Amino acid sequence: MERIYHHSSYIKEFTALVTGCREGRDGRWEIILDRTAFFPEGGGQPCDTGTLGEAHILDVQETGGEIIHYGDRPLTEGSQVRGQICWQRRFENMQGHSGEHILTGCIHRRFGYDNVGFHMGSEEITIDMNGILTPEELDEMELEANAVICENLPIHVLTPTAEELEKMEYRSKKKLEGEVWIAEIPGVDVCACCGTHVARTGEVGLIKVIGMIRYKGGVRISFLCGRQAVLHCQKRQKQVAAVSAALAARQDEITEAVDRLKEENGRLEGEISRLRTAEAEAKAAAFPEGDGLLAVFEEMDPVQLRKYCTMLYEGRKGSIVLACTRKGEGYQYVLGSAFHNMGNLAKKMNSCLNGRGGGSALMAQGTFQAEENEIRSAFCRCAGEELK
């Protein structure tokens, strides 16, 4: 099979002979041609999509040296067909793959690290480098990579002979056999690669790093290239502008404004917590001391509910206290007592009220999927048995 994309990544349309067509899975047809410009998924690069005659090509894979085009309808074997590549997808993949070589080449040239993993996803491109970079060093590499774009250097795709390959210094993740394709950016990178590339670095347009994490003793770097990088920057700029307007702060001062907001929020949360504690103490003090059962229903957060329950059962030494607050379709509960086993009581009530949870002898907590009257009734029955 002739691989047209190896002759030129810029060929968008071609004609070919249909040499095979068979029904595949999920309503797709497996189409085989005598020549193709469709790049099959491989080497970290996604496949091309497009059309073959009336058939929409949804996926392209290489199996056993055979390139299979997965279409939404069959084509007649022996017929001539016109193929058309989805150019926007192809060109964005070209930008991304060439951008990967530029960024990886800059890192390899400066630090000697190798790229041991590469993937072009729908939302980002990732490379795995087998060494550590600091955020500051990565910023420098991003600037250096974009400087290479500005130089508009040629990107050569070479097919050296075995003798020529022996004398070349190039990057490769694995030992290569047979015909080898080499992508070369003069002074930047020389790497074994069978993917599609732009003709000059300037066509990459922009490389924008969007993240880095530690990964398998090295780092995984996420970035975007070309049109996707510009779209990302546009989206982030709109987000920054929206945050700036919401904070009434200049765009280059939003970090400081957020810090001030977090500090003020922390102060207010502390004040709210203090007031809620005072409110709970006042409510608890309003209940007279004494033994027995006490069920209360309040609008409180879980932490406050536990504190409230503790205040109540400590003020009523022989009592069992149930404190509940609304949660979705049911209630969150806390059971507390200074003298009775709340873990056992929680199990009994859970079985009656479609509940979940448990705890220790002094306190148990969880949720009931029941209404208030059902909870009060079950509490009187189950806790009453504990007090006997």
pLDDT single digits (tens) 214-257: 999 999 999 999 999 999 999 999 999 999 999 999 998 999 99
Listed range (124-133, 138-147, 233-242, 302-311) with the worst mean pLDDT: 302-311
Identify whether the C-beta of residue 47 lies closer than 8 Å to the C-beta of residue 29. Answer: no
Identify whether the C-beta of residue 164 lies closer than 8 Å to the C-beta of residue 131. Answer: no
pLDDT over 90, % of the chain: 69
Whether 282 shows a pLDDT value over 90: the answer reads no
CA dist 325 and 280 (Å) reads: 14
Across the range 305-314, mean pLDDT stands at 90
Fold topology of 91-229? Threonyl-tRNA Synthetase; Chain A, domain 2 (3.30.980)
pLDDT at 192: 86
What is the pTM for the complete model shown? 0.75
Q: pLDDT tens digits for 17-47?
A: 999 999 989 889 999 999 999 999 988 899 9
Identify whether the C-beta of residue 29 lies closer than 8 Å to the C-beta of residue 73. Answer: yes
CATH class of 2-85: mainly beta
Mean pLDDT of the chain: 91
Q: pLDDT tens digits for 334-381?
A: 999 988 889 989 999 999 899 999 888 889 999 999 999 999 999 998
The residue among 375, 313, 308, 304 whose CA lies nearest residue 346 is: 375
Identify whether the C-beta of residue 191 lies closer than 8 Å to the C-beta of residue 101. Answer: yes
Residues 6+ apart with CB under 8 A from 222: 124, 125, 126, 209, 210, 211, 212
pLDDT at 388: 65
> What residue ranges do the domains of the chain occupy?
2-85, 91-229, 290-387
The residue among 29, 30, 44, 32 whose CA lies nearest residue 2 is: 32
pLDDT at 176: 65
pLDDT at 277: 85
Identify whether the C-beta of residue 28 lies closer than 8 Å to the C-beta of residue 13. Answer: no
CA distances from 48 to 29, 93, 186, 223 (A): 16, 9, 28, 21
Q: Which residues pair with 60 in a beta bridge?
A: 69
Fold topology of 290-387? Diaminopimelate Epimerase; Chain A, domain 1 (3.10.310)
DSSP 288: P
